[in-house]
């Protein structure tokens, strides 16, 4: 986040000293087309993108278990050769360090997202200033899409097929029959 980090990262990218690995963490409960757009755009920026399901084993309000979310994301990104999917219970920054990732990818939809992401970026910078946060702005057609909104709509039998990948839509239909 400081000038030194920027110069170091620019040099690292330019000289290709290391593989450019970005981690895109989230609960993805479920994954939406907004998430998928960020993943596709990140895949064009990095050598490898790891979509990381961050979870807390003590958290009770998750709608889909980790195995189901892994399946949904893997299906949605199956054509993106430089994208892999994983899950982790712990600090994302620690996962990034263990996997030699120098970038954490985050999507921003609205101004309130920025305040939350700024706090996360500051915490992560405190832990490891060499891992940089990369923010991708949501496309305007995706700014209203959130996993919570998708679930609310689907639970009330609203057609969300244009907002989520096909497998997610099928799972939502089955869940809310």
Please give the positions annotated as active site.
35, 59, 109, 147
DSSP 112-140: HHHHHHHHHHHHHHHH-TTSEEEEEEPPG
State the first-to-last Cα distance of the chain, in angstroms, to the nearest integer.
47
Phi/psi at 77 (nearest 5 deg)?
Answer: -110, 10
Element counts in the chain: helices (H) and strands (E) = 7, 5
């Amino acid at each position: 986040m400081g000038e030194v980090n920027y110069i170091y990262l620019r040099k690292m990218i330019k000289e290709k000293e290391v593989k450019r690995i970005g981690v895109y963490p989230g609960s993805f409960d479920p994954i939406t087309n907004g998430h998928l757009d960020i993943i596709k755009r990140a895949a064009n920026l990095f050598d490898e993108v790891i979509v990381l399901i961050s979870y807390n084993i003590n958290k009770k309000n998750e709608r889909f278990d980790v195995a189901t979310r892994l399946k949904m994301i893997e299906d949605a990104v199956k054509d993106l050769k430089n994208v892999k999917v994983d899950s982790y219970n712990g600090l994302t920054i620690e996962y990034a360090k263990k996997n030699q990732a120098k970038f954490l990818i985050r999507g921003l939809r609205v101004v309130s997202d920025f305040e939350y992401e700024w706090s996360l970026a500051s915490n992560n910078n405190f832990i490891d200033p060499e891992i940089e946060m990369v923010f991708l702005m949501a496309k305007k057609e995706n700014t209203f899409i959130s996993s919570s909104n998708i679930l609310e709509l689907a639970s009330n039998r609203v057609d969300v097929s244009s907002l989520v990948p096909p497998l997610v839509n099928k799972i939502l239909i089955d869940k809310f029959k």
